[in-house]
Amino acid sequence: MSIPNISPAASPIVEAVDVHKSFGSLDVLKGINLAVSKGEVVCLLGPSGSGKSTFLRCINHLERMTRGRIFVDSRLIGYHERGDALYEMSSKDLAAQRRDIGMVFQRFNLFAHQDVLTNISQPPILNRGTPRAEALDRARELLKMVDLEGRGSAYPYQLSGGQQQRVAIARALAMNPKLMLFDEPTSALDPELVGEVLNVMRKLAADGMTMIVVTHELSFAREVADRIIFMDQGVVVEEGPARELLDNPRQQRTQAFLRRMH
């Protein structure tokens, strides 16, 4: 497979090679190849059940793939390679690897028993050894970045969906990840709250964060994505620069999907 849009100098920060995943007899991913370079924003489109979430979850090993390899920052994810075998990492090593990969979920998943400031500051305190005062300062800074200054003492159930998702983004950023994964971050939101979350994501993209975003927001993809990957039935059907793919899809399946989205 050709890998477009990558200057030879920049080694990819994410590289997926022939990723397969099956649940029992159901083949969900059938050989995904993808390279994402530093600072790139890639949007993943595709019909429901095409394997977008599954692929995203393979990148931080929330899902164990059946075949293939994924590298993040040139390090093999989830396995130690010895001889011609891949040995799955210990849960401790897995945890260490995941600290560099931020993930934002469709259902926010803020820790329900902690206030906003604890949600954001506890992960770096526990998992990066950041001093408490420093982590709290950084948490307040991030809250400001997501337009929630002063809401640090609120509990998740006291916030709207849009606010919760912005806290979730701040929480992921507090770990200083090299890469951010978004799995339909606005799909669970009321329409009027989608904009505030997308705005934060725009800011992130402008700041040079590497992002892989599963989304159905075509206008966001057109505006922010460097590249769009269209997946269907576990394979990459088509990929290309955002505008090109949205305006002139070459594959029939892409055309059909985009027609349904309008």
Partner 1 sequence: MTTPKIIPARNWGQRAVALLLIIIVALLVSLVATSRHIIWSAIPQYIFDETILDGIKLTILFTVLSMVISIIAGAILAMMRLSPNPVLSAFASLYIWFFRGTPLLVQIIFWFNIQLFIPSIDIGSFHVDTNSIITAFIAALLALSLNEAAYMAEIIRGGLMAVDSGQHEAAKALGYTPGQAMLRIIFPQALRVIIPPIGNQTISMLKTTSLVSIVAAQDLLTRAQNIYARNFLIIELLIVASIWYLVMTTIASAIQFIVEQRLGKSTNQTPGFVTNALRLMRAEGRNG
Interface residues toward partner 1, by CB under 8 A: 60, 62, 91-92, 95-99, 101-103, 105, 107-115, 122-123, 126-127, 155-157, 168, 171-172, 175
Q: Does 53 bind ligand ATP (CB under 6 A)?
A: yes
Structure tokens given for 230: 């269209």
- Which region, left, alpha or beta, applies to residue 21 given φ > 0 means left and ψ of -120 to 50 means alpha? beta
Burial of 129 from C-beta contacts in 10 A (0-12 / 13-18 / 19+): exposed
Q: Does 43 bind ligand ATP (CB under 6 A)?
A: no
Q: Does 124 bind ligand ATP (CB under 6 A)?
A: no
Burial of 52 from C-beta contacts in 10 A (0-12 / 13-18 / 19+): buried
Q: How far is the CB of 49 from ligand ATP (least distance, A)?
A: 4
Residue 101: name its binding partner from ligand ATP, Mg ion, partner 1, none (Cβ under 5 to 8 Å by kind).
partner 1
Nearer to Mg ion, 79 or 182 (CB): 182
Residue 127: name its binding partner from ligand ATP, Mg ion, partner 1, none (Cβ under 5 to 8 Å by kind).
partner 1
Residue with tokens 């995941």: 98
Map residue 146 onto helix, strand or coil. Answer: coil
Pairing of strands 67-72, 26-36: unpaired
Rounded-to-integer distance, Cα 229 and Cα 237, Å: 8
Q: Site for Mg ion (CB under 5 A): which residue of 37, 50, 53, 186?
A: 53
Q: Segment contacting Mg ion (CB under 5 A): 1-9, 10-18, 53-61, 166-174?
A: 53-61
Summarize as ranges the residues that interact with ligand ATP (CB under 6 A): 23, 26, 28, 46, 48-54
